[in-house]
Amino acid sequence: METEFVFEFKCKGLKSKLTVPVNIPVKEPVEELVGRLVKAKNLPAYVVEDLQKDLCKFVEVKTAEWNEKNGEEAIKAVFDNKIDENILIDKWNKAFTQEVKTYAKPEEVTNEQMFSEVYHSLIHSPALETVLNLEHTYALSVEDIITNRDADLNHLDSKQQEEMEEALNNVGIKYNDEDINQLAQRHFDNTQLISSKWASELSNLKETQKREFKEWVMKVHEDSQNNSIPPTYLLRAMSSALPDAEDEERQSQPTRLEESFTIHLGAQMKTTHNIRLLCTDVLDLCRHKTHTVGGIAIPQPQRLQTAMSLYSNSLCGLVILVDNRVNNYTGMKRAFSKVCEQSTDFHFPDLDHRYSMLEQEVIKMNELRRKKKEEDDMSIKSNGSNINTGDFYITEHSNLSEIHVVFHLVCDDSVRASDISSRHPAILSLRNIIKLCFRYDIHTITIPLLLTHEMTEEMTIPWCMKRAELIYKCVKGFMIEMATYGAQESRTIQFLVPRGLSEDMFNNISNMLPTIFRLSNPVIHRTGP
């Protein structure tokens, strides 16, 4: 609000009048306004005190008037029914009930929440080993079924193949085309029947396991609360002394090619992070390797780590690249779902369930997008239930080896081009993924460095080097961006390159890293002064 301040004073017998525009509310202190006035209008020193007093009073009065005017206008708007009372009341109620705890509906503790809390406390108690062993036993029986299923299906497959070959060889003699078709149809039906039989057996087993496990966890928790029996009681029953390891088991698993770096980010304030370059199959990070001691399978040590941090504030994430269909029939998705199927996920719904939830969200999001774009321009095609390149969906897992959260990043063939830029949707998504990592305490994230899971022929040396450089630089930029405003936590980024990359290439990519990321100070042993 613009007002006019008038000040009168006497100078050498002359009356002077000063008129200045003043904006209400005043942002700067009145003293400074006076200082500026005196300088600008060259006022004599003896009026300063009066001017200050007058101006103070003036600002005070005018500010009060301004506030009163605002208040009156607000009341009038409601009084004149310009604002609907009921809407206003509704807004206030929402504000209070949705944001203030005392007015909000008390939160209902769901079974899942209860379970997660109990599980978290149990896994950090002496019962830890028992829990893991139980999970492991369950996993073994799932594995059993899967092995049987696969054998059964293989057997069926080979039998059918024989039949088909036999039939084909005798086309025109014993069989006609119609017969072949019927045979094929019968084969297909059989396969369907057998696999659905196995599928239902598997899902039944998983359901049972899930229920049993939950009940067991809750019971152990109750018991430990009642303190009647120490929670380790089951442990004794289950883990008998292990036999000695056999020689071949002592040999460590084939090591994956990897190199670690400690880096600093930031110009003045430095944050320390870890970077690891890995050459392995992406699913190796998910798959449980059979780990046997004396011929008895025992849980892998990584499993422990993953279980303990499942409900913590330090999660591990993985980015995998998928196509734009929401199912698990092909390629990477099929391989991934196989790994997930290996054991029961006691905490999160299975993939199929996820996909059905996802489909709804995709439709919702596409609808929203369409609306948003329509505002900008009208010529937009709606793409229904398809996911766009650069979108990603997120699944949580409790039964993978080193991973809690998987980001399924939707990519098309454009990532195979040698000249993708930092504005490519896949790269923008990496930014969003890293952003979510910061938001949701995912402290370790694994990113396919070349934006591919396997080596193909267009991936020449220059192609790989260029791609590696691009991703390094972009990820560095995103990390710096997210770490602004004082996020000091240290994080781990794992860059994954596909198996099959030559050792030389790996070394080249590894040598490039220190030229882009600043390594932290080497430790120097100082001798003498």
Partner 1 sequence: MTALGKAEFGVQTFFAASYPNDKCGANGLPLTPNSIKILGRFQVLKTYEHPNICKYLDIVRTKHERLIVVSEYYKDNLQNKVKTDHFHSEKKVIELAFEILKGLTYVQSKNLTHRNISLDNILLTQKNEVKLSEYGLYHMTDEGADVSFPIGKAKYMAPEVFCCGPVVVDENCEKGISPPSGPKADCWSLGIVLLEVLLVSNMFVKKPDSMISKVLIFFLEKDPLEFLAKDCGFEDKLQNISVELLSFIKWCLTKSPSKRPSCQQLKHHSIFTVLNSQEVPYKNGYKILSVKPRSLDLELPVLDQLSVLDPDHLSQRSMEEVYYLWRLAGGELESILKKAGLIKSHPPITLLPLLCGCEGEVSGHIRDQGELLDQTKVVLSQDQLRNRLQDIEEKAYYPLLEDDNLGLPTSPSSGDLSDTASLPLVIKERDIEYQFHRIILYERLLKAYPYKRPYIWKEARLDIPPLVRAHVWAALLEVEGDIDGEYDNIDKETPTTTDRQIEVDIPRCHQYHQLLSSPTAHYKFKRVLKAWVVSHSHYVYWQGLDSLCAPFLALNFNHEALAYACLKAFIPKYLHNFFLKDNSAVIQEYLAVFSHLITFHDAELGNHLDGIGFIPDLYAIPWFLTMYAHVFPLHKVLHLWDTLLLGNSSFPLCIGVAILQQLRARLLSYGFNECILLFSDMPEISIEQCVQDSIRIFCSTPKSATYRQHARPMKKVNDMRPNLSYYSRDYNEQPQTELSMEAISIEDLKSEKCPRISAEDLIELGELAGPRHTKSPTKKKQSGKPMILVIDVRSIEEFKRGNVPGSINIPFQTAFSPEGDLSPCQSVTTLNSCKSLVKVIVGNRGRNASNFANELVRLGYSRVCVLHKGIDILRSTGLIIVPPADF
Q: Which of residues 253-282 bind partner 1 (CB under 8 A)?
A: 264, 266-270
Distance CA 109, CA 106 (A): 9
Q: Tell me: does residue 188 bind partner 1 (CB under 8 A).
A: no
- Which residue of 16, 24, 120, 323 would you call a contact of partner 1, by CB under 8 A? 120
**DSSP, res 492:** E
| Residue 346 or 506 with smaller CB distance to partner 1 | 346
CB of 307 to partner 1, least distance (A): 12
Provide φ and ψ at 428, rounded to 5°.
Answer: -60, -35
- Which residue of 22, 83, 156, 297 would you call a contact of partner 1, by CB under 8 A? 83
Distance CA 317, CA 404 (A): 6
- Which residue of 49, 162, 207, 441 would you call a contact of partner 1, by CB under 8 A? 441
Stretch that binds partner 1, among 69-77, 167-175, 465-473, 493-501 (CB under 8 A): 69-77
CB of 521 to partner 1, least distance (A): 5
CB of 462 to partner 1, least distance (A): 23
CB of 278 to partner 1, least distance (A): 23
Residues 373-402 that bind partner 1 (CB under 8 A): 387-394, 396
- Strands 518-519 and 257-265 turn out to be antiparallel
CB of 225 to partner 1, least distance (A): 18
| Residue 150 or 441 with smaller CB distance to partner 1 | 441
Q: Tell me: does residue 113 bind partner 1 (CB under 8 A).
A: yes
CB of 483 to partner 1, least distance (A): 8
CA of residue 270 relative to chain centroid, distance: 25
Q: Tell me: does residue 183 bind partner 1 (CB under 8 A).
A: no
Q: Is 491 exposed, middle or buried (CB count within 10 Å of its CB: 0-12, 13-18, 19+)?
A: buried
User: CA 336, 305, 243: angle at the middle one, nearest 5?
Assistant: 95
Q: Tell me: does residue 93 bind partner 1 (CB under 8 A).
A: yes
**Biggest CA pair distance of the chain:** 133
Distance CA 196, CA 198 (A): 5
Residues 484-523 that bind partner 1 (CB under 8 A): 484-487, 489, 518, 520-522
Distance CA 55, CA 37 (A): 11
Beta-ladder partners of 408: 320, 393
Q: Tell me: does residue 111 bind partner 1 (CB under 8 A).
A: no
Residues 353-372 that bind partner 1 (CB under 8 A): 357-358, 361-362, 364-365, 368-369
Contacts of 87 (CB under 8 A, 6+ apart): none
Residues 36-65 that bind partner 1 (CB under 8 A): 36, 38-40, 63-64
| DSSP H helical ranges for 227-350 | 233-238, 247-250, 301-309, 331-341
| Residue 243 or 349 with smaller CB distance to partner 1 | 349
Residues 125-164 that bind partner 1 (CB under 8 A): none
Q: How many residues interact with partner 1 (rule CB under 8 A)? A: 101
Using the structure block, give the residue that is written with the tokens 């979108």: 391
| Residue 474 or 505 with smaller CB distance to partner 1 | 474
Torsion of CA 9, 12, 14, 20, to 10 degrees: -40
Asked whether the beta carbons of 450 and 321 are under 8 A apart, the reply is: no
Q: Tell me: does residue 435 bind partner 1 (CB under 8 A).
A: yes
Q: Tell me: does residue 246 bind partner 1 (CB under 8 A).
A: no
Using the structure block, give the residue that is written with the tokens 């030389």: 504
